[in-house]
Structures are given as structure tokens and as C-alpha cells.
Amino acid sequence: MNSLYNRDIISIGDLSKDEIQAVLSQAAEYEQRLARGERHALGQVLQNRLLATVFYEPSTRTRLSFESAMNRLGGRVLSVAEAKTSSSAAKGETIYDSGRMLEGYADVIVQRHPAIGSARALADAAGVPVINAGDGAGEHPTQALLDLYTIQREGAGGMQGAQLRALDGLHVAMIGDLKNGRTVHSLSKALSHWKVDLTYVAPPELAMPRDVVSFVTGRGATVHESDKLSDALQSADIVYVTRIQQERFNTVEEYMKYKGVYVVNAAVVAQAKPGVAIMHPLPRVDEIATDVDQLPNAAYFRQARNGVFVRMALLSMVLGAV
């Protein structure tokens, strides 16, 4: 049995390098099988298995790609898209009690919640695997997996190709609200399994949390920090842009101080290393101009699509189908 069988996926730090590579390999296999039209065979993999998606915060990609993944593998989905208002959380039910209920309804639970630590709290209560789909400004481990998959798949020409890019030796720049953006926390930790250079570009007030910097430097990553976009462009192979996380600010005025602080447009991309891949977990607000969308370097829509293959892999591994 694979080592992720029956496991909770709460932090990317819980997965070894081998386990991450196993997920990426399985995702590649599913992508190839879908491309070959093996829909019927794939639809047998998780037949009669049930996924519950419980989202207390908005989502397009994470919830729908998990549900797409489960459906493509023949499983079924129970979904609460607005759990804050339409589940019994609105009546005061605790995460613990929700977990004790959901374990009887589904074989695996995917939860998004605004509180750091909420995924761990659910996993402690539920007797079925829990996958963290984002816990506030904490982590987003499945986004990190699809980001790694995308980085490997984006060739040096900025297009998705058959040749996998090596992760050792990569220079990855992360730009934006690195304090509140959970995707960059998880991606940094995931990348630190390899020999990478990381450049963090953020206003000082929105810098990468010190515990994440300590984690990655402790594993041997080189970290450079700056508040200038130009510092991200000089030699980066990957420019990973994030939005300013409006929902984590106490007031609109506070958010407006940072909105629009960095904008990557086609002119900016032209100054970057040739073949740079521009990534973004999405949704974007204004930090990547639409004139980037037509460039071969724009990887973010391919990145979102890759989420289906990676989540197919993760669901089938956690449920012991591979």
C-alpha cells in the first residue's frame, strides 16, 4: 500500500520528498491516461467512494478541481460550498462535532476554513482522512503539490512540455502578500526538499513569516528578501505572483495601502529571464495584467488545470486505490 493511505494531508511539511514525488508521478499518469481517452477505466478507480467538500471560505479552483477529480475517478461528492452560513456551523456547531458527523457520511473530507489550525482540529475529530484545502493564512498543501507539478511541466521555453524540468538548481521568486498568502508558505516548504534559490519580494509589513524562512533555510534553501519587483526578475526561472489577501486585513483602508503595489505586465515579463514561467495560484485581482495572458510564459491557467490531475492522484492514494 502507498504510504499516504489513510493519511491526513494538513501541512506539506508532513510529506517526505519521496511521497511528494509519488504524488507527482501518479498525477502525470492520470494526465496521460485522460489524454489517451481512458475515461471509462479511470471511472472505476474510486467507484462507491464518497468525498465531502466543506468550504467555509470562497473557492473556485480548489473545490471544483477536487470534485472534478473525484468524479473523473468514479467517486461521488457531498458538497457544502458556503459552510459558514449554510451548515450547522451557523448555529454554533464546533469543528470537532462536524468531524464526528462527517466521518459517518464520507470516506475522505476536504475542508477550507478561515482559522489557522482548523484542518488539524477536524482531522483530530474525524476518523477518515482530512485534506486541508486552506486554513486561513496557514497552509494550502494541495496547491503546493500542483505548483510543483506545474514547475516540473513548464519547460524552459515557458510552455508545458513532455520533458520534466529538474527542481534542483531552480531560482523561484515569490511576489506579493507573502505574510497572508498560504500558497507561498506551502510551496516554499515543498521546494526546500530540493536545492533551490528563493527570492521573496513583498512590502516589509507583508514579508514571508519568519518560521517559514527558518524552515526553508534550515533545509538548505538560499533566501533573498526584497521589496523591489526588479529583484525578482533578474535571474528567476519561475516568477510566482500572489494577490494582496484583502480578506486578511482588518480594514479596507489598510488593504488599499498595498493594493496594486506590484503589477506584472508584458513589459515587466520582457525584462525577465527568457523562458521565465509566470505562475499565480489565482484568483488574480490586478497583480498580473491581462496583456501577459497571451504570452507563452503565462502558466497560470495551465497551473489551475493541473490541479485536477494532482488531486486525482492524492484522492486515489489517500483512499488506497493505487
- Catalytic positions, please? 61-62, 91, 112, 140
Task: Output 62 or 132, the one with its CB closest to ligand CP.
Answer: 62
Q: How far is the CB of 190 from ligand CP (least distance, A)?
A: 15
Task: Output 60 or 290, the one with its CB closest to ligand CP.
Answer: 60
> What's the grid cell of residue 79?
458538497
Closest C-alpha among 111, 122, 128, 133 to residue 61: 133
Task: Output 146 or 261, the one with its CB closest to ligand CP.
Answer: 146
SS3 269: helix
Q: Which helix or strand (DSSP H or E) is residue 258 part of?
A: none
Which residue is listed with cell 536545492? Answer: 195
Q: How far is the CB of 284 from ligand CP (least distance, A)?
A: 10
Task: Output 45 or 142, the one with its CB closest to ligand CP.
Answer: 142
Rounded Cα distance between 286 and 263, Å, is 7
Q: How far is the CB of 304 from ligand CP (least distance, A)?
A: 7
The amino acid sitting at 284 is R
Task: Output 45 or 130, the one with its CB closest to ligand CP.
Answer: 130
Q: How far is the CB of 59 from ligand CP (least distance, A)?
A: 3
- Sequence-separated contacts (24+) of 156-162 with Cβ below 8 Å: 156/237, 156/275, 157/275, 157/296, 158/275, 158/276, 158/277, 158/295, 158/296, 158/297, 158/298, 158/299, 159/296, 160/299, 160/302
Residues near ligand CP, by CB under 6 A: 59-62, 143, 281-283
What phi and psi values does residue 87 have, to the nearest 5 degrees? -105, 180
Other CB atoms within a 10 A radius of the CB of residue 57 amount to 18
DSSP code, position 7: -
Q: How far is the CB of 316 from ligand CP (least distance, A)?
A: 21
